[in-house]
Amino acid sequence: MGKRLISQNRGRGTPTYRAPSHKYKADLRHPRVDENTSLQGEVIDIEHDPARSAPIAKVAFENGEELFLLASEGVAVGNIIECGDDAEVKPGNIVPIGNVPEGFFICNIESKPNDGGKFVRSSGVYATVVTHEPTRTAVSMPSGNIKWLNPDGQKKVLHEFKEGKKIRTHHRDMIILPEMIGIAIEVHNGKEFVNVELQPEMIGHRFGEFAPTRSRVNHGSAGVGATRSSKFVPLK
């Protein structure tokens, strides 16, 4: 006797395959802040939301509004969260992506201004600000792809890249851009991190080209009358 396909069971709409949306705590969004101003709030609780893998923080803002925000690394009860154009660029704050220095780790990035955040929202993931242009900002996504975004879009600062500290990455397919020249990074080759100093002649190449996964074997010269493929020649 045949059995129902999983797609048929899903289409039936039983609780097994239905999202428990009645348990979701909040539709996360960034607070609305007037241009060239900032808004402060205090973290009053850290909670788990069945809708996502990352924890969420309940923040009471000075204007009387209470919102749930994604809790980035280091955020704890009692911390002060600041958001807006004039907010300080530090872990946990929400600022326009155009104000973030190159090398910072960020999360919950807006695709368009005031959309509440669309990218890099899962637990444990982050993106890196690569470079700025007058009308756009380049961000290295967790997949290794470079995405150009509106510099007025907001995001949450995860971590500050300290001067003198190397960036570690597993993204071997990331293309080296001119703005990266002079930065010391460590690229993972499958076994360990390999130190790479980015030079001008590396522009356009990928990180993985300078962190080989295996050592090259140099064979000696073949003997007189011998060939490399002689063992594959059928005997007469």
For the chain, domain boundaries: 162-214
142 or 165: which carries more pLDDT confidence? 142
Q: What's the pLDDT score for residue 46?
A: 92
Looking at residues 149-161, what average pLDDT do you find?
63
Looking at residues 46-57, what average pLDDT do you find?
89
Answer yes or no: are the C-beta atoms of 196 and 187 closer than 8 Å.
Answer: yes
| pLDDT beyond 60 at 234 | no
Phi/psi class of residue 12: alpha, beta or left (left: φ > 0; alpha: ψ in -120 to 50)? alpha
Backbone φ and ψ for 221, nearest 5 degrees, come out as -70, 150
According to CATH, the topology of domain 162-214 is 30s Ribosomal Protein S19; Chain A (3.30.860)
R_g (Cα) of the chain, nearest Å: 25
115 or 220: which carries more pLDDT confidence? 115
Bridge partners for 69 per DSSP? 57
Q: What percent of the chain has pLDDT over 90?
A: 13
| pLDDT beyond 90 at 177 | no
SS3 134: coil
Q: What's the pLDDT score for residue 163?
A: 42
Reported as a pLDDT band with limits 50, 70 and 90, residue 158 is low
End-to-end Cα distance, the chain? 59
Answer yes or no: are the C-beta atoms of 149 and 99 closer than 8 Å.
Answer: no
Query: For tokens 């890196």, what's the residue?
Result: 128
Looking at residues 50-67, what average pLDDT do you find?
89
Q: Which of 58-62, 162-166, 194-198, 218-222 has the highest mean pLDDT?
A: 58-62
Q: What's the pLDDT score for residue 229?
A: 54
